[in-house]
Structure 1
């Protein structure tokens, strides 16, 4: 379906994949439906068994803007792809069923795109948990000012932030780019988001906070499982694909930002967390080492990386996890981690 084929097509399509988020879905949907934008909400449920899909259907019964479908596949990637395929709006955004959209957020993103004609607009965001709230973008220069009609080459530090939920896409661009989310245990948005940033001919940066991410504790939270080998292998595999996309741009500034992301930010934080949790040899260690090594081979070491951080990653890459554990205890984690 395309927006041009329907006179009643909304301006914005909001795709919300859900999996067992019943305790938070009311707040999430309320925050989306309060937005002062002509929108449709497509809830794509991925095998929930806690009443999530029943609640979503009740919401759809009360508000014609909401529709609910079951995901044709398994995993958040399939759910997001299915929602995007159903979208009729001129613009497309993604949100998660346990997060919040500040008032005015979607208007800020859509208005910017209506004025600029850009392919995508990226907004600021904050994260919160029971004990604190923080702004991950504080260490990303691209988020320090509003801009319209820029490219990734103009603002390479946009690469530091790769969630799918703090940005709006011109749906025509999304479909023409052929971008799809993979179904992987962790980090299913970093490859499609890097692809989008690289392919976009024009990008807007909106300085409004357009998303509030809820970091949940417990075994159901992706963040809490981040130390597990399966999760780390998934992340490292996706990150290596990002490394190849960046390498193919042949842009030295972009390569430098990505090297910092690997050696001093996301990859270091993920590997360091695994090293800190490591207690004894396991069958997973060899695969983790292989994936770390593959990523590092694609990403030259930046001159300014700290020696302990470099050592922690290089020990993991050669499978020296006992030594890596000792170094990780000294190296510490990035403040964002």
Structure 2
């Protein structure tokens, strides 16, 4: 992996913007945000774009807003379809795309004017298959942007390794909307419309086959999020148990199928950490007692079903020994594990935070 400490992609003159970028926007009942999203795309300094607004059966004013944009700007194309979910909408966007390159957006986010210029310039300058940008976290009361302006040039499966190791410095992430790549490179890869959390497998397969990936540590995308209150006390959705846990198992199987047992074990390590967190969230959540107990039992069953893989996962590269201790406590007694986590969250973590801030 090569790191460029301060990197600014070149500016592509409009006469040289010969490669059209098709940007597919997932639209569903987001009338409050849609104008800001589309306006930010139409304001791109890379002019040769096609904005595909995929209205996935919206019931608010989004369909009319989409049609108004198509009437005002010839670069806008609208696809109205029955509600089929995010994966279905993204596949519809791919099918409608006439550009050589593909990008994706969610209808409630927006991007900086130079985002696609930067991504396209990086692809051209480094002959990369995929270019990825960092994004900002936009909350109601603040915006977080840890950009460093570094560029990471990764070859072969270096990007896949950083992705599976969940390196915060290289924000590859599961999401579709911080990436740019050619339609030819995508090939026949599509989002699985039968599942939620479809980005996980899609991105894993995409990154695994890339010969070169450029990550720009400069935030150009603005991601709306809300973390009001403690997420540990908000419970977990049914979809995490029915869809996300199977998706993580599918990713493990895929990594083994391409000969990366090492990454499969590392992925399992993070998967098992999440399972313990899900168990705690289910316990602390607001569900009724019977529903809460059902969720806890199913997560516990998912944990026990993976016991044969624990040694490989918790001894994998980058694994924290403390996580193995937590799992050992859980296997001994889930009730004791919950008590330990309550003590950890109530006393140990706040102490560590005060210590880091120099208050202890």
1:119 aligns with 2:129: yes
- Asked if structure 1 preserves the Cα contact closer than 8 Å seen for 2:190 and 2:202, the reply is yes
Cα offset, 1:16, TM superposition = 0.7
Deviates more, 1:234-243 or 1:91-100: 234-243
- Alpha-carbon distance in 2 for matches of 1:116, 1:308: 39
1:215 maps to which residue?
225
* CA deviation map 1:94-113 (0-9, x unaligned): 11000011121111111111
Pairing partner for 1:276 from 284, 294, 314: 284
Secondary structure in 2 matching 1:13: strand
- The answer for the alignment partner of 1:147 in structure 2 is 152
Q: Displacement of 1:189 after TM fit?
A: 0.7
Instruction: Check the 8 A contact 1:233/1:288 in 2, yes or no.
Output: no
CA RMSD, Structure 1 to Structure 2 (Å): 3.6
**CA contact 1:28–1:101 (8 Å) conserved in 2:** yes
Match of 1:230 in 2: 239
Equivalent of 1:107 in 89, 105, 117: 117
CA distance in 1, matches of 2:179, 2:334: 38
Answer yes or no: is 1:192 the counterpart of 2:205: no
Distance 1:20 1:294, change over 3 A: farther
> TM-score, normalised to structure 2's length?
0.74
Spell out the pairing of 1:256-275 with structure 2 (5 A cutoff). Answer: 257-264=266-273, 269-275=277-283
Deviation at 1:210, TM superposition (A): 2.7
SS at match of 2:26: strand
Change (3 A) 1:86 1:269: farther
Partner-residue secondary structure (3-state), 1:250 = coil
Task: Report the equivalent of 1:3.
Answer: none
Post-superposition Cα deviations, 1:77-123, rounded to whole Å, max 9, x if no partner, equal: 10001101111111101110000111211111111112333221111
Q: Does 1:243 align with 2:248?
A: no
**What is the rounded CA distance, in whole Å, between the counterparts of 1:287 and 1:59 in structure 2?**
47
Residue aligning to 2:161: 156
How far did 1:250 drift?
A: 3.2
SS across alignment from 1:77: helix
Decide which structure has the larger Cα Rg and report it.
2
| Shift in Å, 1:74 | 1.0
In 2, Cα distance between equivalents of 1:23 and 1:313: 47
SS at match of 2:32: helix
Instruction: Give the drift of 1:13.
Output: 0.5
Shift of 1:57: 1.1
Whether the aligned pair in 1 keeps the contact of 2:235 and 2:286 (CA below 8 Å) is no
- Give the Cα–Cα distance (whole angstroms) in 1 for the partners of residues 115 and 278 of structure 2: 30
- In structure 1, how many angstroms separate the alpha carbons of the residues matched to 2:29 and 2:198? 18
Structure 1: give runs of 5+ residues left out of the alignment: 1-7
Q: Is the Cα–Cα contact under 8 Å of residues 234 and 286 in structure 2 kept in the other structure?
A: no
Quick one: which of 317, 320, 327 aligns to 1:305? 320
Shift of 1:257: 4.3
Q: Distance in 1 between matches of 2:328 and 2:193?
A: 26
Give the Cα–Cα distance (whole angstroms) in 2 for the partners of residues 92 and 226 of structure 1. Answer: 36
TM-score by length of 1: 0.79
